[in-house]
Amino acid sequence: MQINRVRNLRKVELQGFEGVNVLYGLNGSGKTSVLEAIHLLGMARSFRGNSVKSLITHGENDCTVFGSSERSSETQALALGVQRTRVGEARIKVGGEPVRTVAALAEHLPLQVITAESFDLLTGAPGARRRYLDWGVFHVEQRFFGQWKRFQRCIKQRNNLLRRGKVSGGELEAWTRDLAQTGTAINEYREAYFEALQPVFSEIIAQLSPSLAGLELRYQRGWDKQLGYAEALAQGLVADEEHGYTHTGPQRADIRVMSGAYAAADILSRGQQKLAVCALKLSQGQILAQKGHVSSTYLIDDLPSELDQVHSKRVCDLLATMEAQVFITCIDPREIRSVWPESHDLAMFHVEQGSVEPRSDAQ
């Protein structure tokens, strides 16, 4: 893997990755930047936000990352490359050939991220939880992305007509009809995935913390469950005309972690919230593996934060049972050695002032 001009990582070449890779060093050394570079390779952006300028090394015009994704079904690794410029341009190559969409890149390197930002799954706006749900649907249902793109086009056109007040004639009816069809399909894909996700989450959260075994997931599709989407759009037309946008639909869907009648975010401690986030991420990785798709790659920033040694070990024990590659950061490598199963080898990398060096003697 080659990293060029990503934050304080001016030029880094990494080799010797194993199933479990520990990046250790002082705060500000560049550990999280390595995780960002891997995320850039799989999603063409950082997990810290959408600002490309902050990702690029100060004074430089672009950043690039090159690497490869290996699948057991393929005879050789698939080369991946991403360049982002300060003005926002993205150049992506898969197997040496340019591709136009991030989706064409993401399918080859499924990433699960557990960082401070991941708490948004519990405490943030519904958009973060929709993205979480759609990540899973995208990787297990090939038809989803096409319907999702069609839905985005339909709702944009419908909202444009509503804002301009052009609600007469057949144009609005045509876009509404297409919106209802594709929105219904998206909801069906989401519901099918949610049915698979819910029991896996319940099993994993109980393993991580028996006291949290009562947590459950609830899916809200974005309109009255007693109505079909076409009916919901018809009933909401007056409100849509008045406000100039579409009120109901998959764009309002949500998935919540609940404890009885209460949102988990309102009653759980910070450590319990992190366990719930870990359970959500591990659940998706397990479903992907069960479906026979390429295994997830986990990017975990500062696992020991908010978790005691017992619960850190439970997370590591579960990760060790999955056929997943893991990149995990910490300050002291002993923090991970003490909680990872002894039967598994760990590849150690020391990060200091933007330099990354493999260390076989890290204790």
Per-residue pLDDT tens digits for 69-110: 876 455 578 999 999 999 999 999 999 999 999 999 999 999
Of 244-258, 323-337, 349-363, the one with minimum mean pLDDT is 349-363
Residue 293 has pLDDT above 90, yes or no: no
| CA distance linking residue 132 with residue 112, whole number of Å | 10
CA distance linking residue 233 with residue 245, whole number of Å: 11
Side chain identity at 109, as an amino acid letter?
L
Output the pTM of the full model. Answer: 0.93
Query: For 338-344, what is the mean pLDDT?
Result: 87
Query: What number does CATH give the domain 117-293?
Result: 1.20.1050.90
| pLDDT for position 168 | 72
The stretches of 69-214 forming alpha helices (DSSP H) are 102-106, 120-123, 126-140, 144-164, 170-208
First to last CA, the chain: 25
Task: Show binding-site residues for ATP.
Answer: 25-32
Place of tokens 């029991």: 199
Residue 62's DSSP bridge partners are: 85
pLDDT digits (tens, 9 = 90+) for 201-224: 999 999 999 999 999 999 999 999
> In b/e form, how buried is each residue of 65-85, taking b as 16+ CB within 10 angstroms?
bbbebeeeeeeeebebbbbbb
pLDDT at 307 over 90: yes
Query: Does pLDDT of 180 surpass 70?
Result: yes
Three-class DSSP category at 340: coil
Predicted pLDDT at 74: 53
* Residue type for position 351: V
Q: Which residue ranges are tagged as binding site?
A: 25-32
E strand segments, the chain: 2-6, 9-13, 20-24, 62-69, 78-85, 90-94, 97-99, 111-114, 216-220, 254-259, 262-263, 297-300, 325-330, 347-352, 355-358
